[in-house]
Structure formats: C-alpha cells, structure tokens
Amino acid sequence: MKKFVELTSRIVPLPIENIDTDQIIPARFLKATTREGFGENLFCDWRYDVNRVERPDFVLNNPLYKGQILVAGKNFGCGSSREHAAWAIQDYGFDVVISSFFADIFKGNALNNGLLPIQVSDGFLERIFEAVAKDPETRVLVDLYAQLVRLEASGDQETFEINPYKKSCLINGYDDIDFILNQRDAIEIYEAKIAG
Amino acid sequence: MGKTLVEKIWDAHVVKSDAGFPDILYIDTHFIHEVTSPQAFDGLRSRGLPVFRPAQTIATADHNVPTVDQHLPIKEELSRYQVDMLTKNCAEFGVELYGLGHPFQGIVHVIGPELGITLPGATIVCGDSHTSTHGAFGCIAFGIGTSQVEQVLATQCLLQQKPKTMKIEVNGTLGKGVTAKDIILYIIAQISAAGGTGYFIEYTGSAIRALSMEARMTICNMSIEMGARGGLIAPDDITFDYVKGREFAPTGEAWDTAFAKWKTLYSDEDAEFDQTLNFRAEDIEPMITYGTNPGMGMGISKHIPATADQAVSEQPSFQKALDYMGIEGDTLLVGKPIDYVFIGSCTNSRMEDLREVAEFVKGRQKAENVTVWIVPGSKQIEQQAIAEGLDQIFEAAGFHLREPGCSACLGMNEDKIPAGKYCVSTSNRNFEGRQGPNSRTFLASPLTAAAAAITGRVTDVRELLEETVYA
C-alpha cells in the first residue's frame, strides 16, 4: 500500500454536500477488472458534457485550481461501497480528501489504499473554502504524525482524529491483509472452538 | 447490564480483540459478484494465496448482466469479459457460482435469503453496500470494499471497529397504501442521508414485528441510505418459518441446534443503545423522493420543500438538486408527468412485490407514454411469477417482465433511463445519473410506482385503492 506521512499542496475545492460515489465514478465505468485508469472518469458527469467536452464551470477543468488535496462538502462518499471511488480519486492525483463528514465505507476504502480522509470541523472547512476563494493558490499542510492540518499562509490549523492502527498502516505502507495473515493461528483456534 | 443484539452477534464472532487495534471479526458467509471481486482475486494471485475457506463464499452475476435474452452471449464486450472473469476466478479458486443460466442466479441480496444461505445470528459481508438487507434475519451484515473482499477471501476475517448501536422503534398500524418501503423512506427523510453514519440500527416496534420477511428485507436494505453500515431485526417465528425448508437451510438435528441458538437472538431488556428514535406508523403516508439523495423524501401529498427554508449552508446543494430534477420548491409533485417506471432492485424485486403490483394492475392499463420494466430479483422469482400467471397480467397491462439482475437500479447494463427523463423507481438511490446519465429518479414503493405507471403521473396510490382493501 502507498505510504503517507506529510504533504503540503495547493487544494481543489468542491463545496458540494452529500457527494455520492456514483458522482465520483458512475457505475457504467465499473466494468474494468483492474484498479488502474479510473482517474480519467473521476466526476465524469460533472466534468464532461454528453459529447465528452469539458464543462468549463467544473473545478477540475478550471486552470486556477490544482493540487493533491481535494476539499469537499459534508457526507463525502455516501452511497455505493465501490472502492473504485477511492481508486479514481487517487488515480487522478489526489492523496488527501478533506471534508467535515465522511461516509463510513468510503473512509475505510480510502484508508485501505493510502488515500488519507481528513475530517475537520464545519467551521474549519468553511475557512478553507473562504481562503481558496480569495486566493486559488492557497496551500494546505497535512502532517499525519502530528495529526495536523494547517492553512499555510494564515497558520490557521486544526488537529484531526485517526485510528492509531490505521495511522501506523499509512505511515508504514502496511495493509490489513498483511496484519491478519499473521493471525492465522488465532483464526484457526476460533474455528475449532465454534466447530467443537 | 444486558447486551444489544448487535453486541451479542459481534462478541460471538470476535477472533481477537487487542487494545489500540480494530477487532478481528470472523465472517460466516461472504457473497461476491462480478463487479467488485476481480481486483480482489488479482490481489490473491499477486500474494500467492488461495481462498482460505472457499465453501463460505458464494458468487452470482447480477450487477452487469442483461435482463433480456440471458441465454445468449452478453453482447457488450466489457460486460461479457467481466462476467467471464468471475466464472474463471470461481473455477480457479473453488468458489460456488450461480451464474447466468443457473436456476439460482439472481441479485445477490435476493438469492442469499431465498436459498436459506442467510441465517439468523450470522456475520455476512459482500462488496455491495446493500448487504444490510440480510440484517432482516437478525444478522450482522454489511457492505465492504474490494480490498476487504480480498481480506475475507484470504482470511475469512475482517478488521473492524465495533459499531455504535441505534434503536429505531416504529409502533402502530400502517394506513391504506402504506408499505415497508414507505416506512424506510420516511425514516431516512426524518434523519437525513447521513443520520445513521457510524451505527448499526436495530428496528423494533409493533409495526416492524407485523411485517413479512420480504418487507423486513426492504427496511434493512435501505439502512445504508442513512449512512448506517447495517440494520437488523431480531428473528422471531416469522423469520424461522421463512428459513425452514429452504434449499440450504439446516435440517434435522442441525436445525434443532441452530433453532435453540436463534431463540437467544434479541436485545436484552436492559441493554443500552447509543441512540434511540421513535416513530408512529400512523404518521407515515405513501412516500416519494423529490431530490438527489434518499433523504430528500416526503409524504406524497406534501409540497416540495423550498430552498429558502433550508439552513443557509445547505441551500446551494439543495437548489442544485431541485435544478437537476427540473422541479421547483413549494410546489406539489403529485400530477407531474413521468416517462418510466422501474420495479426491481434488491429493495423491491421479491415475490410479494410482484404479487402486490400484479393485484393492483389486474384489469388496468399503463398510460401510453410510459415504459414499464419489471425486473425480478432472481431466476426463481421469475419462474414463480410465470407459474402464478403474473406475467400474463403484466403483459395485459403493458408492463414488461424481464430477466433477473440489478438492471436500472444502477444503470450499469443497457437498462438506462434516458437523459432528462423521469422514472418512478422502487430501487434505493436517486443520485444524479444513477439510472443513466442525467436521468431523474423518484424513489417510491412498488404500489406507488404501479399507480404512476397507470396514470402516467406521480400519483397518490390511495386514490386508486378505493375499491381494493389492502391488509
């Protein structure tokens, strides 16, 4: 799994609430049998018109905004469990998603792929949107060790929560399967107990 | 202090619980399908691992299959490749597959219960968020991502944080034309599309107890639409009667042993939930959604809420949803002309749904401008519907009974609602483009959908039920 420790980057703002995984990657693109290439259809129906011409009003098509951090409205990633949503965001080039609320399954999927979901307060999210509206070149620093997210220019910052196990997975690039495979004995003891 | 049902099942499945780590949870039953499993099998190959307990994984093809001419090769190349890949993976790794052409094929959350694979007290996962459906049997059942599918294939376990618990109690008697679908759409409208995030929900109360298993599955199915990982209902005689005698349900001594255990599956009286909510069945009318998430629903007689009445921070997203749907706040939805009706999906494609629709449309004709698709949840349901002559009733009404699959619920196969068109759908999600690019979805019960098919407009089904008595 991809490691994550620290990042300072410009940000891409998407101040819409309840962005579901069907918006992130529509079902008709889920026919692929590998994990690669989903980035080109990230937010497809917002990004392109029916003739696959870029919609100039969508943020990914606006040359003012770029960066490895996506900042979105609350309840990000609701709906379908498709991990393709996390793959698409990562494949496009994002390493972090900041929101004031994440849907459970998306959050788990992101963490299992080294894409860091950061939950901040509603107020801090609002201040990030305000900062980037004033200055599209606004940069944000993310420090996973310190569990800290900071607007670089103003120094306005907030700490965030992350499960300590998941934190160590991200920092070391380990995944859950590596962890559970080492517990094979415990699993077989459990099975014997249930069968007995 | 007593335990909730979720705690009882969870604790019985913990392989290991260490401070600072998620629990290692044992998974009894794992369902897979063609869309979210290929990358997991690839993962096993690259790690050089077998499937750890192949007998505990069951596969079917449902998301990406056509719903006509299933006996012919799939026309669309990518879809065919994906379905073929599932067949190949199952053969290579020793997993049982109920693929196209098999008499047990169908939507994964329909066939599990129908075959007696879904049993009370079990832990069940699948790479699909509507796995919560199986909770109707008193299971811990939830959707997972593909990395977790790989994890379960490799170890029959998942690393999971113990969830918080919520009790939702619905007491009273449902009114005429009000069904399980209306109960769950009502609850979601009350607590929002995010109101259940982080929780497992136990549904209780007299209105829930009175429901059939199929109706209970409809309720638990949509738990995810309020953000909850799962929803469940304590098993009772209705549950046991449903399970008994099914294809893979335990028999003889195994049944007696299982039955004794299942009778202990309830929340203790002094168990504490992290949150409790109460609703009255009498407050619920036939429901319909107007917006672009399942929380944007209302009683069918109500006016669409106005943007100005929303919290300031939520107004842009709310107005965006109304614009997408081509509707205005503070107006009625009843009377709005519609183009399509879709009766199907893991929410409402079971025998009872089809019977209810057939009884309602018998002797009636669909409106001329409306296309009606009925997509049964499984091959067995399709065959049963034909055996009962429901196909004839549908045909006479101008409805088209198709072959089983997920179909227009997610528009992954060719069953798509065209851009700009309105569909009254018995499925579970009204997201932008869910049923096809720029399609517009109104979620409702099978009865409300059938009523719209007949009138060609969003309709209060109660007005058409005057002469029919529904228990």
pLDDT tens figures, B333-346:
999 999 999 999 99
B289-465 has the same fold as B5-276: yes
B220 has binding-site annotation: no
- Picking from A73, A78, A180, the nearest residue to B24 by CB comes out as A180
Cα gap B192→B284, rounded to integer Å: 16
Phi-psi category of residue A7: left, alpha or beta, with phi > 0 → left and psi -120 to 50 → alpha? beta
Whether the per-residue pLDDT at B251 is higher than 50: the answer is: yes
Q: DSSP label at A126? A: H
When CB atoms are compared, the residue of B127, B159, B229 closest to A176 is B159
Query: Which pLDDT does position B469 carry in this prediction?
Result: 45
Q: B320 contacts in A (CB within 8 Å)? A: 16
Query: Any idea what the Cα angle at residue B343 is, between residues B447 and B394, rounded to 5°?
Result: 80
Find the CATH number of the domain harbouring A91.
Answer: 3.20.19.10
Domain limits for position A88 = 6-195
CATH architecture of B5-276: 2-Layer Sandwich (3.30)
Q: Give the pLDDT band (50/70/90) at residue A2.
A: confident
pLDDT: is B1 or B68 the higher one?
A: B68
Averaged pLDDT for residues A86-92:
98
| B346 annotated to a ligand binding site | yes
Q: Is residue A134 part of a domain?
A: yes
The pLDDT tens digits for B15-57 are 999 998 999 999 999 999 999 999 999 999 999 999 999 999 9
> How distant, in Å, are the alpha carbons of A14, A140, A142, B287 from that of A98?
10, 10, 10, 34
Q: pLDDT tens digit string along B138-156?
A: 999 999 999 999 999 999 9
Q: What is the pLDDT of residue B467?
A: 56
* pLDDT for the residue B459: 98
Nearest CB to B193; choose among A75, A81, A163: A75
The model's confidence at residue B471, banded by pLDDT at 50, 70 and 90, is: very low
DSSP state of B136: G
* Whole-angstrom distance, CA of residue B53 vs CA of residue A152: 50
Determine contact: B78 vs chain A, CB below 8 A: yes
Q: Which residues, in sequence order, are bridge partners of residue B299?
A: B287
> B394-428, pLDDT tens digit by residue?
999 999 999 999 999 999 999 999 999 999 999 99
B421 and B388 in contact (C-beta within 8 Å)?
no
Contact B428, B294 (CB under 8 A): yes
pLDDT at residue number B367: 98
Spatial neighbors of B130 by CB under 8 A, at least 6 apart, are B109, B143, B221, B224, B346, B347, B428
pLDDT, tens digit, 9 for 90 and up, residues A54-81:
999 999 999 999 999 999 999 999 999 9
CB contact under 8 A, A163 and B22: yes
Q: B205: how many CB neighbours lie within 10 A of its CB?
A: 17
Indicate the SS3 state at residue B338: coil
User: Domain residue spans in chain B?
Assistant: 5-276, 289-465
From chain A, the residues in CB contact with B313 under 8 A are 122, 126
Q: Is B423 annotated as a binding residue?
A: no
pLDDT reported for residue A14: 98
Instruction: Give the mean pLDDT of B164-176.
Output: 98
Residue located via tokens 């670089």: A152
Q: Do A83 and B145 touch (CB under 8 A)?
A: yes
CB atoms within 10 A of CB B463: 11
Task: Tell me the CA distances in angstroms from A100 to A77, A91, B82, B295, one per residue in order.
Answer: 12, 23, 36, 18
Tell me how many residue pairs between chain A and chain B have CB atoms under 8 A apart. Answer: 174
SS3 for B441?
A: strand
Q: By the CB < 8 Å criterion, does B312 face chain A?
A: no
Closest alpha carbon within chain B to A77: B227
Nearest alpha-carbon partner for B422 in B450, B404, B443, B407: B443
Cβ atoms of B86 and B37 closer than 8 Å: yes
Report the C-alpha gap between A165 and B25 in whole angstroms.
16
CATH number for domain B289-465, candidates 3.30.499.10, 1.10.760.10, 3.40.720.10, 3.30.110.30 = 3.30.499.10
Given CA atoms B94, B98, B101, B103 in this order, what sign does their dihedral have?
positive
What's the total number of domains in chain A?
A: 1
Name the residue in chain A with its Cα closest to that of B316. A16
What is the ipTM metric for this complex?
0.96
Q: What is the average pLDDT across B309-324?
A: 95
Kindly state the tokens that stand for B224. Answer: 């995810």
Which residues on chain A are in Cβ contact (under 8 Å) with B224? 79
- pLDDT score of B62 more than 90: yes
Is A1 within the bounds of a domain? no
* pLDDT score, position B287: 98
* Residue A111: inside a domain: yes
